[in-house]
Amino acid sequence: MDRVHSAVMGVDGCRGGWVGVIWDGSKSIAIRALTLAELVNDANTVAVTVIGVDMPMGLPDAHARQADRLAQRALGRRASSIFVTPTRSALAMPTQAQASLVNKEHGGPGVSIQAFNLRPKVLEVDEFLRQGKSDDSRRFVEVHPELSFQVMNDGPLEFSKRTEQGQSERQTLLTSVGIHVDPASVTVPGRVSVDDVLDAGAAAWSAFRVRDGHARCLPDPPEINSDGIPASIWV
């Protein structure tokens, strides 16, 4: 892989682990790995300064995160694409029913199946950050691709990312800002989907905006819970 100057990486979870798109503002490289740590290690030959990850960073002790509520409000009719991050205590529970009960006891809403199914990846990111596995020279920020695409488009998108029209709509947007990714080049049936790659591209776009000081965060300033990790979504 050629070394590029001050690149960023966008990361999205997929069935096969994580998929990342590296972008330096002129070209993009899609890569895939099994764990977040492996994905970051794969970028060691690239001067990555900001990594945007589509997964919660900074878990709440109680109630819902401000970041989730503000992002839902900003997305309007596509608000369902953002789940409310369960509390740290709820994520420690082994079943969705227990997690939902504990989350309500801590002032949050019930935990959906979708949110609970993301539990392993949420905890993987949390461990990665809390165990000091991240390189201090890199900045890790939380992003949300659907919000990134909406800002990129200067308005809501027409189609769902699960549809052919929606995927075409999103790929056209990425191409228009200079991010050229070919989902087919990294797609393994059942392991990495087209929308995973496109979402990673959108995450890279927001990470680039963070790098250049053009991004904004929800909330501003970020919310800080007991884990000390700033909880905010950047776009």
138 and 235 share one domain: yes
Neighbouring residues of 232: CB distance < 8 A, sequence distance ≥ 6? 58, 67, 142, 217, 218, 219, 220, 221, 222, 223
| pLDDT tens digits, 216-229 | 999 999 999 999 99
Here the CATH number for the domain that contains residue 227 is 3.30.420
23 and 70 share one domain: yes
pLDDT, position 2: 43
pLDDT, position 132: 73
163 and 174 share one domain: yes
**C-alpha R_g of the chain:** 17
- Looking at 92, 117, 142, the residue that finishes a domain is 117
89 and 78 share one domain: no
The Cα–Cα gap between 212 and 161 comes to: 27
The Cα–Cα gap between 235 and 142 comes to: 9
Residue-averaged pLDDT of the chain: 91
50 and 37 share one domain: yes
pLDDT, position 4: 46
From its phi and psi, is residue 132 left (phi > 0), alpha (psi between -120 and 50) or beta? Answer: left
| pLDDT tens digits, 112-157 | 998 999 999 999 999 999 887 555 557 899 999 999 999 999 999 9
Based on the structure, what is the number of domains in the chain? 2
pLDDT, position 135: 57
Total residues belonging to the chain: 235
pLDDT, position 16: 87
Q: How confident is the model at residue 185 (pLDDT cuts 50, 70, 90)?
A: confident
Residues pairing with 7 in the sheet: 48
130 and 185 share one domain: yes
* pTM (two decimals): 0.93
pLDDT, position 1: 39
Using the Cα atoms of residue 17, residue 79, residue 223 and residue 235 in order, give the sign of their dihedral: positive
Residue among 233, 201, 221, 235 at smallest CA distance from 56: 233
Percent helix, strand and coil across the chain, each to the nearest 5: 40, 20, 40
pLDDT, position 136: 55
53 and 95 share one domain: no
Residue among 166, 155, 146, 167 at smallest CA distance from 81: 146
Neighbours of 119 (CB within 10 A): 18
145 and 48 share one domain: yes
59 and 136 share one domain: yes
The Cα–Cα gap between 182 and 174 comes to: 11
Q: How is residue 191 annotated by DSSP?
A: T
224 and 136 share one domain: yes
Q: How confident is the model at residue 26 (pLDDT cuts 50, 70, 90)?
A: confident
66 and 138 share one domain: yes
- Domain of residue 95 covers 84-117
Residue 3 in this model has a pLDDT that exceeds 60:
no
60 and 102 share one domain: no
CA distances from 176 to 26, 78, 160 (A): 12, 22, 19
pLDDT, position 187: 67
